[in-house]
Amino acid sequence: MSTSTSGRLGGKVAYITGAARGQGRAHAVRLAAEGADIIAIDNCVKAETTSYDGPTEADLDETTRLVEAQGRRILARKVDVRDLDGQMAVVKDGVSEFGRLDVVVANAGICSGSMSWEIPVEKWRETIDVNLTGTFFTAKATVPVLLEQGTGGSIIIISSVAGLRGLPFLADYAASKHGVVGLAKTMANELGQHNIRVNTVHPHGVATGMMPLEMMELAGQHSTTLAPILMQALPDPVSQPEDIANAVAWLASDEARHVTGIQLPVDLGTLVR
């Protein structure tokens, strides 16, 4: 798919987590195409409790190549979002190299499927640690920089339809994605006086490497009861990463300068069902 760009982020710098592939890569490339330099991190390993392959350092290298192909600079580093010190270090180095920070995209996340009462404790902990605590650490590593600069900013947290609805088979994921909505709403109130906007984006299914096969198995087992809750209104079965990046680019830009504290669905009409 083709996406038009307008240079809306010229002279700005964006920090993106989970940038090695999928949505994170799409955000990095799109914001670079809009004129931003990029600070990017990914842990480049498979999560312990997920069934799909994890991102690799080669994936992060490819993100670097694609951003540089847009004519922009990028600092990419292998860092886990659960490592607060690591995030703070890369943000400091990125700001030192590029001069500032304007946009934060808290994108890193993991997902797996289980009935709620059958979720292993270790899976619950890893999902919450990555998706919710990792997002908190991303904010903790970046908000002080934005405040010190005193020039505002845009923080965009990638949530999910599961952050607004009790999707079946995803209790740990839904809890984490509801959690980041609460975090974003509070931050939007606290940071609004500093002209720092905080919003969440809520995709449905997105064509990335994050595809837990057990979700499909559970949907098949509950095809007439729970699976219909997952259905979308539009004909496309899933979104492409670029569809979500379009929304992120808008929220990052001055076109959305009066938008804060919202939950923006890019969900193929799932939430109207």
> pLDDT over 70 for what percent of the chain?
98
Which pLDDT score, from 0 to 100, does residue 28 have? 98
Contact between 241 and 26 (Cβ < 8 Å): yes
Which pLDDT score, from 0 to 100, does residue 134 have? 98
Which pLDDT score, from 0 to 100, does residue 79 have? 98
pLDDT (average), residues 136-161: 98
Sequence spans of domains, the chain: 13-272
pLDDT (average), residues 13-21: 98
Residue 203: phi and psi, rounded to 5, are: -75, 160
Tens-digit pLDDT profile for residues 123-143: 999 999 999 999 999 999 999
Q: Which residues contact 225 (CB under 8 A, 6 or more apart)?
A: none
Q: Evaluate if residue 2 carries a pLDDT over 60.
A: no
Q: Evaluate if residue 45 carries a pLDDT over 60.
A: yes
**Candidate list 9, 173, 175, 246, residue with the active-site label:** 173
- The Cα–Cα gap between 92 and 79 comes to 13
Which pLDDT score, from 0 to 100, does residue 249 have? 98
- The Cα–Cα gap between 34 and 214 comes to 37
Which pLDDT score, from 0 to 100, does residue 3 have? 61
Residue 232 — pLDDT band, cuts 50, 70, 90? very high
Which pLDDT score, from 0 to 100, does residue 99 have? 98
Residue 75 — pLDDT band, cuts 50, 70, 90? very high
pLDDT (average), residues 198-217: 93
Which pLDDT score, from 0 to 100, does residue 33 have? 98
Q: Evaluate if residue 189 carries a pLDDT over 90.
A: yes
Residue 136: phi and psi, rounded to 5, are: -60, -45
Which pLDDT score, from 0 to 100, does residue 105 have? 99
pLDDT (average), residues 198-227: 94
Contact between 232 and 226 (Cβ < 8 Å): no
Tens-digit pLDDT profile for residues 235-245: 999 999 999 99
How many C-beta atoms surround the C-beta of residue 228 within 10 A? 12
Q: Evaluate if residue 110 carries a pLDDT over 80.
A: yes
Say which CATH superfamily domain 13-272 falls into: NAD(P)-binding Rossmann-like Domain (3.40.50.720)
Residue 108 — pLDDT band, cuts 50, 70, 90? very high
Which pLDDT score, from 0 to 100, does residue 4 have? 60
Q: Evaluate if residue 16 carries a pLDDT over 60.
A: yes
- Angle between helical axes of 22-33 and 241-252 (0-180°, round to 10): 50
Report yes or no on whether pTM surpasses 0.85.
yes
Which pLDDT score, from 0 to 100, does residue 210 have? 85
Q: Evaluate if residue 1 carries a pLDDT over 60.
A: no
> pLDDT over 90 for what percent of the chain?
95
15 is catalytic: no
